[in-house]
Chains A and B, each alone.
Chain A
């Protein structure tokens, strides 16, 4: 190197470096992002339990939709989480090793019970769900304890604000989609009706994921805790009603339709809240 610094220059460079390190130690994600990741961990754990229960419960008379609907719901939640994380200025890459290990253990669990033709006991699936949640959420929980309120100032505050008109409309669409997923759990169109079911399941999902102007990107940027709570209720309803329907429990027909209508109305109502003119700056419509 021809123009290597003399010691004084090197000292100045080191001083500039140290000032940066002190000003930004550590470059931590905001607590809102960490809480959101804990929410996502709960969602993933619930999904694994649902799939384990469905996969190990033999019920030849049941519709294939009891498997397809939770898969669609999980893809939707994952895609929405990915878009939502973009609102945070500092992010930590999640390590892939834990989800991979959990996936392998869950697959082994399913193979064992499926191979022995015995339904997995609920307690075993629930225990695995709790273990999965702890494994996924514990690193985030530790991180939450080490962050400071000052780390939150980089991001737009995450609170309930009136949604832009476009996002309201998309939220209503999302409400209709979740409601439809719940009703589809009981729909059995036979071989002729299956293409229609696929279209209903995955058409809106593809549209929401790949059409930026009318997709999940807007929801991720604008939804506040209220909207996330309502969306969470919808996911929980799917994760609970799908195994019930698959097992053919009495009352599952009513549960599908009732939960579908309730989730549609709940998320639709939340799309209108908070009302315009209430506290909080309205969200600037994105161009």
Chain B
């Protein structure tokens, strides 16, 4: 008997913000905090918390910098983060595979 796909889910991506955040960070891309916030339509605090949680697990890397003298923050995914995200996405797709469509 094969394991249920839910075992492949990663708790780090259980909120829409964290899941969507990873979707915006393909390999090699560094995106600044403001762009992430505006695209995800999240508040500073919600996004900041999501980034911290993913950072704690080693799924994203945060880089501080400056535009002139104004501080800026960039976020990028790590290889471990992308692996975990792909596995989580596959598990989600497996779970919904037999879900009947609307109507």
B98 proximity list for chain A (CB < 8 A): 7
As a 0/1 sequence over residues 40 to 84 of chain B, the CB contacts with chain A under 8 angstroms (1 = contact) are: 100000000000000000000000011111101010100000000
Q: Is A13 an interface residue (CB 8 A)?
A: yes
B23 proximity list for chain A (CB < 8 A): 17, 20-21, 24
Closest Cβ of chain B: how far from A107's Cβ, in Å?
Answer: 27
A221–B76 CA distance with the chains assembled, in angstroms? 22
CB <8 Å contact, B16 and A13: yes
A160–B26 CA distance with the chains assembled, in angstroms? 33
Q: Which of A254-287 contact B (CB under 8 A)?
A: 286-287
Given contacts A4-B6, A91-B74, contact A24 B68 (CB under 8 A): no
13 A-B pairs with CB atoms under 8 Å apart are A3-B14, A12-B16, A16-B16, A20-B40, A26-B26, A27-B24, A86-B65, A90-B29, A91-B74, A93-B28, A217-B69, A218-B69, A220-B68
Closest Cβ of chain B: how far from A89's Cβ, in Å?
Answer: 4
B11 proximity list for chain A (CB < 8 A): 1
Majority DSSP secondary structure for residues of A touching B: helix
- Determine the interface band of chain B, counting residues with CB < 8 A from chain A: 35 or more
Q: Is B31 an interface residue (CB 8 A)?
A: yes
Q: Is A8 an interface residue (CB 8 A)?
A: yes
B70 proximity list for chain A (CB < 8 A): 221, 286
As a 0/1 sequence over residues 1 to 43 of chain B, the CB contacts with chain A under 8 angstroms (1 = contact) are: 0000011010100101001100111101111101100011000
A218–B68 CA distance with the chains assembled, in angstroms? 4
Chain B: which residue is nearest A3 at the CB level? Answer: B14
B67 proximity list for chain A (CB < 8 A): 86-87, 221
Chain B: which residue is nearest A18 at the CB level? Answer: B23
A221–B93 CA distance with the chains assembled, in angstroms? 44
Closest Cβ of chain A: how far from B72's Cβ, in Å?
Answer: 6
B89 proximity list for chain A (CB < 8 A): 14, 17
A266–B52 CA distance with the chains assembled, in angstroms? 47
